[in-house]
Amino acid sequence: MRIYNDCLPCILRGALDAARLATDDEAVHRKILEKTMEKLSLAQLHDPPPLIAQYTQQQIKEITGNNDPYKKLKIKYNQFAKKILPELETLVNDSGDPFEMAVKIAIAGNIIDFGAMSDKGEQLFLKDIRKTIKGEIKGNVALLKKRVAKAKKILWLGDNTGEIVLDKLLLQQIDTKKTIYVVRGGAILNDATMEDAVDAGITELVKVIDNGTDIPGTILSCCSEQFRDEFANADLIISKGQGNFETLDHDDKRIAFLFKVKCQVVAESSGFEEGDSVALIS
């Protein structure tokens, strides 16, 4: 998905949020904003937003010396998700359709995203998660369930910390022996890395690899050879989050996109409405 004008202030806002997490020095914040605006002024229309976000986050690391400004938030929201997991597990177990409920919860977890929004606080996130679970899913969960059962090799592209804890409920509904879970290859925003996957307990359920890059999405040409091999050989790819939706081929019939629509640009690109919970598969 190409970058749009509406993406530019969003990326700038994210740069300031990250800068404030990295340091209290307002002069440094200004320097980071200036570097970000310079990059945005040169951005090509075909560049996907996550590629520009990677550049701005790298600038923050270089200028401040803080290689993971979101580290405390990542730990916080993994712990938050672990705390609410028993409540959500009960919902799955008591549901008439545990698979559909687990899909709802996995998509609801995508709300925990500091690339698209600032820290709203645990209670507001919990309110949003519960609201999402009570709502409907746009797309085709029944087809996803059939494809999961039929698939011989599933590649799951994870997204954010906190969210990955809630992914466990859906992972438990599929054959984890045929599933590989993928995290980012380096710290970027609050996206999950191998360290976060270990903390979330994902590595206890399924084989986990990283994609070899710290882009907050999946740009295949930038990923490791190992990841590209796994991607090429998978017959079902479960893609979590907007960043992956923004960077992957929407015509690849193997991909099931699970995400919350968090901005108008993605709403227009996906054909859904802002706020929708989406399970897009064809």
Domains of the chain: 7-64 (1.10.8), 71-280 (3.40.50.10880)
- Comparing 269 with 119, which gets the higher pLDDT? 269
243: which 2 tokens? 């960043």
Average pLDDT value over all residues in the chain? 93
In the prediction, which pLDDT does 115 show?
59
In the prediction, which pLDDT does 116 show?
54
CA dist 36 and 52 (Å) reads 9
How many C-alpha atoms does 47 have within 13 Å on its Cβ side? 18
In the prediction, which pLDDT does 230 show?
98
Per-residue pLDDT tens digits for 216-227: 999 999 999 999
Q: Decide: helix, strand or coil at residue 179.
A: strand
In the prediction, which pLDDT does 39 show?
85
CA dist 136 and 69 (Å) reads 35
Burial class (CB in 10 A: 0-12, 13-18, 19+), 281: buried
Q: Are 81 and 109 in contact (CB under 8 A)?
A: yes
Per-residue pLDDT tens digits for 240-275: 999 999 999 999 999 999 999 999 999 998 999 999
pLDDT band at 120 (very low <50, low <70, confident <90, very high): low
Q: Are 243 and 159 in contact (CB under 8 A)?
A: yes
Residue 90 pLDDT > 60, yes or no?
yes
In the prediction, which pLDDT does 125 show?
84
Cross-strand partners of 156 = 181, 238
The model carries a pTM of 0.93
Q: Are 219 and 51 in contact (CB under 8 A)?
A: yes
Say which DSSP state 6 is in.
T
